[in-house]
C-alpha cells in the first residue's frame, strides 16, 4: 500500500509538473510576443501622458493589460474558437488590451468627459488638447485599422460605454443585485473584445463561454482589488460581502460556471492556464482569511500593502501540481 501511495504521489507530481512546464512555455511565448508589440506600437503613444497620478496609473495598467492579460486571454480565446491567429490578430489583441484601462480611467477617474469619449470614438469628433483624448483618438484609429469587422467594433464600444456609464452607479450603491448586474456586464463586455479577430460564424458557439469567463474574471479582479477599492470607496460584490465565507461562496459559484463552460475542444494548455488563474484566486482567498482572522472583509483596509500581496509566494505548491493533475 505504501509503495502504491508513493507511486501515485510521483505520478501526480510528474503529470502536474509536465502540465505546468507546458503552460509556462505557452505563457512565455506569448508574453514575449506581446511585449514586443507593446514596446513597438503602444509604448511610444504614451509619452505625452502627464507624470501625475492618473498618468502613471494609466501607463502601468496599459502595460499590464496589453502584455500580461492580453498575452494569455487573447490567444486562449482564439484557440478555444479553433482560430489560428496571425501576427495581425496578435497586434489587434495587444492593442485591444492596452486600450481597456482607458475605458476604466475615463469613468472611474473622470480624466475624459463621458460625452467626449463617446463623440471621439463613435461620432468622429476630433480630440482637444487633452493628452488623454488624443491617446483615445489614436488608439481608436489603430483599432479600426486592424479590426476585420468594424461594425462589430462599433457595437462593442457602444455597449461598453453604456455599461461603464451604468457601472458608475455601482461604485456608490449598496444594492447587491445592482452591483452583481454591473459586475457581470462589465466583465462580459471586456471579454467580448478578445473575439474581434474571429469571424462571427466562428463566435456563436463561444459566446456562452465568453459570458461566463468575462464575469468570472471581473469578479476575480474585484477580489484582488478589495483593499484598493475599500481605500477608494468603490462598492463591489467583494467589498460589500459580510464575511470571507460570503466571498468564497460567490467566487466558487462563478468560477465553477466559467470552468464548466469551456468548449470541449479547448486545448489542454489553455485549460491549465484558467486552472492556474483559479488556483491563484483560491490561494488569495485563503491568505485573506488568515490576514483577517475572523474580521469582516471591510477590515482589509487596515492590512499593510506588503502583507496583502505576499500570498504570491505561496502559489507554486503541491496543491497546484495536484490541481493540474486532477484536471480532465
Is 120 within a domain? yes
Place of cell 453604456: 162
The pLDDT value given to residue 201: 77
Q: 4 lies in a domain?
A: no
Which residues make Cβ contacts (< 8 Å) with residue 205, sequence separation at least 6? 263
Tell me which of 79-83, 128-132, 156-160, 165-169 is least confident: 165-169
pLDDT of residue 3: 53
Q: What percent of the chain has pLDDT over 70?
A: 88
- The pLDDT assigned to 2 comes to 47
Give 55's pLDDT tier (boundaries 50, 70, 90): confident
pLDDT given for residue 120 in this prediction? 84
7 is a domain residue? no
6 falls within a domain = no
Instruction: Report the alpha-carbon distance of residue 186 to residue 182 in Å, rounded.
Output: 6
From the list 285, 273, 278, the residue with the least C-alpha distance to 311 is 285
Instruction: Kindly state whether residue 285 falls inside one of the protein's structural domains.
Output: yes
Identify whether the C-beta of residue 195 lies closer than 8 Å to the C-beta of residue 77: yes
Q: What is the CA angle 253-12-81, rounded to 5? A: 50
> Count of residues for the chain?
328
CATH of the domain at 244: 1.10.600
In a domain, 289, yes or no: yes
pLDDT confidence band for 1 (50 / 70 / 90):
very low
- Name the pLDDT band for 105 (thresholds 50, 70, 90): low
> Considering the domain boundaries, does residue 20 fall inside one?
yes
Residue 124 lies in a domain: yes
Q: What is the per-residue pLDDT across 301-311, written as a single tens digit (0 to 9) for each?
A: 999 988 998 88
Q: What is the structure's pLDDT at 103?
A: 66
Check residue 270 and give its pLDDT: 94
> What pLDDT sits at residue 147?
93
Q: Quote the number of domains for the chain.
A: 1
Question: What's the mean pLDDT when you consider all of the chain?
Answer: 87
Residue 180 pLDDT level (bands cut at 50, 70, 90): very high
Higher-confidence residue: 140 or 15? 140
Rounded to an integer, the average pLDDT of 16-44 is 92
Structural domain span for residue 37: 12-326
Least confident of 178-182, 253-257, 314-318: 314-318
Compute the distance between CA of residue 72 and CA of residue 75 in angstroms, rounded to an integer: 6
Of 15-29, 30-44, 103-117, 155-169, least confident by mean pLDDT is: 103-117
Average pLDDT on 122-129 reads 86
Amino acid at each position: 500500500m505504501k509503495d502504491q501511495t508513493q507511486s501515485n504521489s510521483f505520478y501526480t507530481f510528474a503529470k502536474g509538473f509536465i502540465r505546468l512546464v507546458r503552460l509556462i512555455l505557452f505563457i512565455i511565448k506569448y508574453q514575449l510576443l506581446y511585449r514586443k508589440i507593446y514596446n513597438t506600437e503602444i509604448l511610444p503613444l504614451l509619452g505625452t501622458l502627464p507624470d501625475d497620478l492618473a498618468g502613471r496609473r494609466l501607463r502601468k495598467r496599459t502595460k499590464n493589460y496589453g502584455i500580461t492579460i492580453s498575452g494569455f486571454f487573447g490567444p486562449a480565446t482564439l484557440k478555444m474558437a479553433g482560430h489560428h491567429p496571425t501576427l495581425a490578430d496578435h497586434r489587434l489583441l495587444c492593442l485591444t488590451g492596452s486600450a481597456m484601462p482607458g475605458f476604466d480611467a475615463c469613468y472611474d477617474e473622470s480624466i475624459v468627459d463621458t460625452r467626449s469619449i463617446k463623440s471621439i470614438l463613435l461620432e468622429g469628433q476630433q480630440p482637444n488638447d487633452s493628452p488623454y483624448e488624443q491617446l483615445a483618438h489614436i488608439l481608436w484609429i489603430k483599432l479600426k485599422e486592424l479590426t476585420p469587422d468594424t461594425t462589430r467594433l462599433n457595437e462593442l464600444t457602444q455597449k461598453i460605454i453604456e455599461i461603464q456609464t451604468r457601472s458608475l452607479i455601482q461604485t456608490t450603491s449598496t444594492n447587491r443585485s445592482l452591483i452583481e448586474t454591473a459586475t457581470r456586464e462589465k466583465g462580459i463586455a471586456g471579454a467580448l473584445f478578445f473575439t474581434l479577430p474571429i469571424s462571427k460564424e466562428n463566435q456563436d458557439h463561444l459566446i456562452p463561454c465568453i459570458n461566463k469567463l468575462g464575469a468570472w474574471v471581473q469578479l476575480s479582479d474585484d477580489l484582488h482589488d478589495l483593499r484598493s477599492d475599500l481605500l477608494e470607496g468603490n462598492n463591489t460584490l467583494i467589498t460589500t460581502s459580510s464575511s470571507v465565507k460570503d466571498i468564497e461562496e460567490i467566487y466558487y459559484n462563478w468560477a465553477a460556471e466559467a470552468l464548466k463552460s469551456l468548449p470541449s475542444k479547448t486545448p489542454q494548455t489553455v485549460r491549465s492556464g484558467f486552472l492556474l488563474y483559479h488556483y491563484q484566486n483560491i490561494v488569495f482567498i485563503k491568505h485573506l482569511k488568515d490576514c483577517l482572522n475572523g474580521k469582516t472583509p471591510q477590515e482589509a483596509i487596515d492590512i499593510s500593502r506588503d502583507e496583502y500581496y505576499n500570498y504570491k509566494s505561496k502559489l507554486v505548491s503541491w496543491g497546484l501540481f495536484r490541481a493540474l493533475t486532477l484536471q480532465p
